[in-house]
Chain A
Amino acid sequence: MKLLRKQIDKLKPHFQKGGRFEMLHSTFDAFETFLFVPDKVTSKGAHIRDSIDMKRTMIIVVVAMLPTLLFGMWNVGYQHFIATGTEAGFWDEFLHGLIRVLPIVIVSYVSGLAVEFAFAQIRGHEVNEGFLVTGMLIPLIVPVDIPLWMVSVATVFAVIIGKEVFGGTGMNILNPALTARAFLFFAYPTYMSGDFVWISGLMKGEGIADGFSGATPLANATLGNAEAIPSSMAMFLGTIPGSIGETSTLAILIGALILWFTGVGSIKIIASVFAGGWVMGFILNLFAVNPFMEIPAWEQLIMGGFAFGAVYMATDPVTASQTEKGKYIYGFLVGFLAILIRVLNPAYPEGMMLAILFMNVFAPLIDHNVMQANIRRRLRRAAAADANK
């Protein structure tokens, strides 16, 4: 370590003000702080600071996503071999998934980080860690058969339009990963929906077994093919077609536990999204006129991207409601609207994406009202303190 540190110290002057590579200062800083926590000590205010920093926080979120990524890789292979009617073992399935998924992850990180570094350089500030999470989220919410160039275009679009134009990490209004997905959904709808995109190889029609349908449970539900919806156990475990990371509710719950336990993700949001979704599902059950509306409320919560959105997307602290009471309202409405859109608007079976983006826009309004209530309450208390002096 000391040797490495020495090398860095030797290189450092070249990247600082007046050095030969001054224009690459942010890039150097990003790599240096990746390797070493800086030696900077407190100079004002509190003399000690918590051990946590942005890098650690973001890494925890990435760790929380690993169960869904690993399960997603295996499931890609599993679905592929079902579709082609081939017998295959666990490692064959996982290997197939790894080969298909890894390029998407790499493309997402490389194109996103390139934009991030460029912007940090131009603005002359540090490279923010936010993209570590976004870069992992994007592969998890796209179908496996998506062309890699689309992943790249969508990522670049999301980072620039979704984040950098607002001033970078911490300033954005919309969740960048969902911005990427929304971009893909509206720009290339044929690659983001239908019966073929969800299973590796199906787009090219590689030797599909007879009578196999690659439709997701949600697509079947929309079409009213209630008998084609898999068992709730399959949907909970995730052995169904779908976007890479969204299928397994079990893996997502493991991630939720990590986020909750470490304190990185807001359990208030996660719980209230599920509550809101269940309430809407229950209301629809009461007035059910078609098979989709008859699906039990709790089953809605393990279908499609609902759980994934609740745990990893709605909890994005920057775009969610920032006040504690607001988080309950925000989360509840995300869940409520997601099921409403999903069931009653057949054009958008994936209501979660639109519900979260919609509530991202409304989060500041929720916060404003929470703040106004706080202000009124405190004014009343101050007046009472004056009165019984």
Chain B
Amino acid sequence: MSKVIRLRKGLNIPLKGKAEKILVNQGLPDKFAVKPVDFPGIRPKMLIKPDDEVKAGTPLFFDKYNPGVMFASPVRGRVVAINRGERRRILEVVIKHGGSMEYEDFGKADPASLDRDAITGLLLKSGLWPLFRQRPYGIIPRPGETPRSIFISGFDTAPLAPDYDFVMQDSGNEFRKGIDVIKKLTDGKVYLNLNADYPPSDVFAGLNGVEVNYFSGPHPAGNVGVHIHHLEPVHKNGKVWYINPQDVLVLGRLFMNGIVDFSRIVALTGSEIVKPRYYRSMMGASVDILVRDNVSGGNNRYISGNVLTGSRIPSDGFIGFYDSQVTVIPEGDHYRFMGWAEPGLDRFSSSRTFFSWLMPGREYRHDTNYNGGERAYVMTGEYEKVLPMDIIPQQLVKAIMVEDIDKMENLGIYELVEEDLALCEYVCTSKIEVQTILRRGIELMVKETS
């Protein structure tokens, strides 16, 4: 039975620079990277060294805590650098693309005829296992575990997010094949959640053995965490998995063609992009060729992902493992005279403390300034307005601050990852780093409960 769930809480931040629905085929850049920092909680152990030749699908490293979990190269080429950060933490494994594609052969297979172990083994070996993440915690699931159910969110409501109906329009076969794979991984349901405000695209229609539900409302109505909360809330031992729609295609291609093909359509967005459009690209691709000559001047922030949860990259940085969007916005490293007194016609706020409320429908060029100093909590009720879940966010954040494990557990830390509280962080008057605090809490939970 399909449900339609209408959410009222949340916030759509009106930003300039939404991608026009034009698909550009620009070819691939010459550098790629896989970034271990995209996977919270893993400890990478290298399988290659600089100057090694790799193919698309060749494992680059594995997780020391779960040795079966491999992370694969997206292209054929040569490993040119293993970049490290503080305390020799590995940040990225950079591969120079060899020009033509060459794939490791994993053999075509029909998911319907394979058993769960065979499928799991193939996913682990080919480096596609990390496409799945589990709730609680938003980490890569452990190979031995079976999820209660698996969730796919068929739409993204984040600021300037890609429209999946457009992105997926020609990928029906791969998607159906990917769904066949996913169905094998759980004894429970496979949920596909779609936007209730639009008719579903053909790709998402007519799938067998999938429960389709509809959500409507402002961001974060498209977040998989919100869907899980309303359909099948998780707890300590009730784990579910989730996967991005474009990554379902990657699963489908593995079984249809026997290859690892991380191709993905990426939305290039943000107020500083001259022509925001959709590009055929790939996981780990350098954004260099996308943004070169396509960015307005000045000091800009490059983000792999959206402005709320994405990660900061240099102008020749790489698209993250789970990201289908690149955003470029202006940096805000300038002073503003008497900000507390200005009328603020050009400043967006979720409150109506600036006169910009006089102009609904306006889109803003939002920079990266904090717009104020960090303070102790004073305001209350702000977070509740942007979190469509039956969770008391501010008390949870306070519980994490004082590391009260019992309270964190009781107040719902299992149901949340950073993206679910990103809007809370955005609206916070006290400028509290909610996402960072939440991840610290999750890390503490993982440590204390495992």
Contact = CB atoms under 8 A, between A and B. Distances in A.
Interface of A: 1, 4-5, 33-57, 59-60, 126, 128-130, 167-171, 261-264, 266, 268, 317-318, 320, 322-324, 327, 367, 370-371, 374-375, 377-379, 381-382, 385-386, 389
Contacts of A1: 337
A263 B351 contact: yes
Given A35-B337, A374-B411, 17 more contacts: A5-B337, A41-B367, A46-B309, A51-B344, A51-B349, A53-B429, A53-B431, A54-B430, A168-B376, A262-B352, A262-B353, A263-B350, A266-B381, A317-B379, A323-B395, A370-B392, A371-B411
Closest 3 CB pairs of A and B: A53-B372, A170-B376, A37-B339
B121 interface: no
Contacts of B188: 389
A50 B428 contact: yes
A322 B394 CA distance: 9
Interface residues of B, number: 77
Nearest to B11: A50
Given A1-B337, A389-B188, A50 B375 contact: no
10 contacts: A39-B333, A41-B301, A42-B369, A47-B310, A51-B371, A126-B375, A375-B411, A378-B233, A382-B233, A385-B234
Contacts of B164: none
A385 B232 contact: yes
A36 B369 contact: no
Residue from B339, B390, B418 whose CB has the most chain A CB atoms within 10 Å = B339
Interface stretch (B73-81, B82-90, B433-441): B433-441
Nearest to A36: B335
Given A37-B372, A169-B375, A266-B381, A55 B395 contact: no
A48 B366 contact: yes
Q: Interface centre among A37, A50, A55, A371, by most B CB within 10 Å?
A: A50
Given A262-B353, A382-B234, A45 B435 contact: yes
A171 to B, nearest CB: 6
B251 interface: no
Contacts of B238: 382, 385-386
A378 B390 contact: yes
Nearest to B437: A45
Task: Label chain B's interface by main secondary structure.
Answer: loop
A52 B234 contact: no
Contacts of B375: 54, 126, 128-129, 169-170
B373 A60 contact: no
Nearest to B415: A378
Interface string B277-306: 000000000000000000000000101000
Nearest to A322: B380
B64 interface: no
Nearest to A57: B429
Interface stretch (B41-49, B176-184, B210-218, B419-427): B419-427
Contacts of A389: 148-149, 187-188, 232
B330 to A, nearest CB: 10
A40 B426 CA distance: 15
B341 interface: yes
Nearest to B430: A54
A42 B352 contact: no
Most chain B beta-carbon neighbours within 10 Å: one of A53, A168, A377: A53
Contacts of A168: 376
B32 interface: no
A34 B336 CA distance: 10
B254 interface: no
Contacts of A371: 392, 395, 410-411
A47 B308 CA distance: 6
A387 to B, nearest CB: 10
A52 B351 contact: yes
A50 B339 contact: no
Given A45-B433, A47-B308, A317 B380 contact: yes
B347 interface: yes
A170 B392 contact: no
B337 A41 contact: no
Given A39-B333, A263-B352, A385-B238, A49 B426 contact: yes
Interface string B326-348: 01010111111111110010011
B422 to A, nearest CB: 5
B373 A38 contact: yes
A46 B352 contact: no
A47 B380 contact: no
A147 B188 CA distance: 75
Contacts of A57: 353, 378-379, 429
Contacts of B351: 50, 52, 262-264
Contact of B332 (A39, A45, A320): A39
B104 interface: no
A38 B377 contact: no
Contacts of B341: 59
B39 interface: no
B379 A53 contact: no
Interface in B376-426: 376-381, 384, 390-392, 394-395, 410-412, 418, 422, 425-426
A44 B347 CA distance: 22
A327 B233 CA distance: 27
B347 A51 contact: yes
Contact of A169 (B335, B369, B378): B378
B312 A53 contact: no
B307 interface: yes
A38 B369 CA distance: 8
B224 interface: no
B28 to A, nearest CB: 27
Contacts of B303: 47
B13 A48 contact: yes
A40 B370 contact: yes
A292 B340 CA distance: 45
Contacts of B373: 33, 38, 40, 53-54, 126
Contact of A51 (B148, B354, B394, B430): B354
A169 B378 CA distance: 7
B397 to A, nearest CB: 12
B171 interface: no
B320 to A, nearest CB: 14
Contact of B340 (A4, A43, A59, A323): A59
B358 to A, nearest CB: 12
